[in-house]
Structure 1
Amino acid sequence: MAKIGSVLAVVMVALSIGAAAPAKDRPALPGSNPIIRDKFTADPAPLVIGDRLYLYVGHDEAQRDEMFNMREWLVYSTTDMKHWTDHGPIMKVTDFKWAKQDAWASQAIRKNGRYWFYAAVEHDSTHPGKAIAVAVADSPTGPFVDAKGSALITNEMTPKGTHSWEDIDPTVFTDGDGTTWIAWGNRQCYIARLKPNMIEIDGPITEITPPHFEEGPWLHKRGALYYLTYASLDRAKHRNERVSYSTAPSIKGPWTYRGELTGSGKYSFTIHPGIVEYKKNWYLFLHNATLTIGDLNGSIGRRAVTVERLRYNADGTMRPVIQTDAGVTAP
């Protein structure tokens, strides 16, 4: 998700690009990008339940010169990838009594008949820095409640990190043996096993930082191959994040860097991948900053979720994705 800390000049350049961009909210076919047009949304996390795809997003509410203002998480759903149902807010950051702000990137997963929601927030002064919360519900649309009463992961648990906002952007994945894993991070990428109760870490936290890792990891598996897709930033070449990925024969690695999957989101400093198979097709969810609502243009704190088709080569590598306005409406 969001970044407080890359070089300030880089952030301000991205902010000014977004503010100056001629981002007109053009008439579009249902399902074309951005897929949600009445709110600014970011950090998409898809979840398939039966014949319906649910999409969990953060709600960007930044006004004018604000960088980020995120107070709640929203969920949408679809059965055709073109028409989206708004289920409204599922949680607010204040629902975690120990958190004080920043409803940042999240992901939900179904296990043992319940829905588990992992999200990045800013912890209060008892454990300063970013933290990862866990909530639970009996329905994918909530209501979700704090499942633990305290943070699952705090900044103190990753002492080798370089900054206080490294513990963000959780991704959760259940392997074929029933074990659930969580990965997260900013600048450093971490992975750990979850206990069966889904609210405690089981064993050590391991660093698996791939090349140019910035934030926004996403774990998935296709066939026998495991994928770690993430927002990357090669500061020697780029000003804005792109999406890169690594693969491994096991969730424990070794991870092999496979290069960039797609370029940066238009007008956006950040990007955040979410990958899912739905009705025998694979999709890559992202965000950019092309949406205009009223007199507010897209910017670093006013983003818009998009989706593209995702295809694989015979060796399991993913084919490069070009971001489009048409998205899934393209032939």
Structure 2
Amino acid sequence: MRLLLPLAALLAATPLAAEDAPGSNPLFRDRFTADPAPLVVGDTLWLYTSHDEAADGEMFNMKEWLVWSTTDMRNWKAHPPVMEIKDFAWASHDAWAVQVIEKHGRFWMYAPVEHDQTRPGKAIGVAVADRPEGPFVDAKGSALISNDMTPKGTHSWEDIDPTVFTDDDGTTWIAWGNRQCYIARMGADMISIDGPIREITPPHFEEGPWLHKRGDLYYLTYASLDRSDHENERVSYATATSLDGPWTYRGELTGSGEGSFTIHPGIAEFKGQWYLFLHNAALTIGDRQGALGRRAVTVEHLTYNEHGLMRPVTQTTAGVTAPRP
């Protein structure tokens, strides 16, 4: 005679599917998120994202920025929105991809938005908070970077996707762009540019740059698009021994996000391990399927070879719940 186990025992004996395990991809399933930007503070990793709210047939509808925190890369705590587009009084819409860094004992958020008609085009604002979870407030009262500051660009939305990085000497740098990639030194006050804006556009650069350093090597990772070869963005990177360059193109780090034209890298070392955050459009919430304006944040293990180059990353549903390579 076959024994029937109680339901609780059956569930306990049945392993979770990879896509259901805490920390598997996508990380957040109650809303659409994109443009992940990690920040490590002590024993906590904070992850800032944009918030996709596009209706059917709508490209983007993004009104606020969100943040989650984790201490184990498996369990994530949602916090209230850190800021809304209306908190930049000079901006009109498009709460796009931010990055937050810590300096001078405060937290600085660099945010691309659409400027109002006084300075048309995309612009980058800076906000500040006393805690990583915010709330953030406009730190300058005007744009840090506006479209008229990059007059050699080809279009009005080139000034987006800021990445901010503090070097070993304490100097902070900001890089940004769409199709053209720019870099500049930040002022000590964190709300000004100190020096010239230089173009450092690597091969197939589309948008979403991310700066980080490991050892003596600088990395510029970005959303790439080889228009002669594929339709959707992938992630590529370049390296240099100085932020002044020259930058050496190292090829693709990972392919396109499932179902998504865009992709956006964010990289962090946390508790001795490296992680690559991305987004795709594989999430469905109710009857709302993933799309260009409805994306979902993911994360994968990131490793380096003996020469310091990043090993190619395969995007998975298991994410960091899978064994580290």
Decide: shared fold, TM above 0.5: yes
Q: Are 1:32 and 2:24 an aligned pair?
A: yes
Decide which of 181, 185, 188 is 2:180's aligned counterpart: 188
Give the deviation of 1:304 after TM superposition.
0.1
SS in 2 for 1:117: strand
Matched, 1:81 2:73: yes
TM-score w.r.t. the length of structure 1 is 0.92
Q: Say whether the 8 Å CA contact 2:19–2:25 is kept in structure 1.
A: no
The yes-or-no answer on 1:215 pairing with 2:202 is no
Output aligned runs, 1:8-87, within 5 Å.
28-87=20-79
Deviations 1:17-66 (CA, angstroms, capped at 9, x unpaired): xxxxxxxxx96111000001111000000000000000000000001111
Which residue identity does 1:310 align to in structure 2?
A: L
What's the counterpart of residue 254 of structure 1? 246
Name the residue aligned to 1:226. 218
Report matched runs for 1:1-331 at 5 Å. 28-331=20-323
What per-residue deviation string (whole Å, max 9, x for no partner) do you get for residues 128-149 of structure 1? 0000000000000011000000
Deviant stretches of 4+, over 6 Å:
none
Q: Which residue of structure 2 aligns with residue 4 of structure 1?
A: none
Aligned 8 A contact 2:19 2:317 in 1: no
CA distance in 2, matches of 1:63, 1:159: 34
How many angstroms apart in 2 are the aligned matches of 1:67 and 1:309? 30
CA offsets per residue over residues 191-237 of structure 1, 9 Å max, x none? 00000000000000000000000000000000000000000000000
Q: Percent sequence identity over matched residues?
A: 75
Amino acid at match of 1:298: G
Instruction: Identify which of structures 1 and 2 has the higher relative contact order when contacts are C-alpha pairs closer than 8 Å and 6+ apart.
Output: 1
3-state SS of 1:64 partner? coil
Highest Rg: 1 or 2?
2
Distance in structure 1 (CA, Å) of the matches to 2:243 and 2:155: 26
Whole-Å Cα distance in 1 between the matches of residues 101 and 295 of structure 2?
24
- Check conservation: 2:19, 2:318, Cα contact below 8 A: no
Unaligned runs of 5+ in 1: 1-25
Q: How many residues align?
A: 307
* 2:191 aligned partner, one-letter code: I
CA distance in 1, matches of 2:97, 2:154: 20
Question: Match for 1:52: what amino acid?
Answer: T
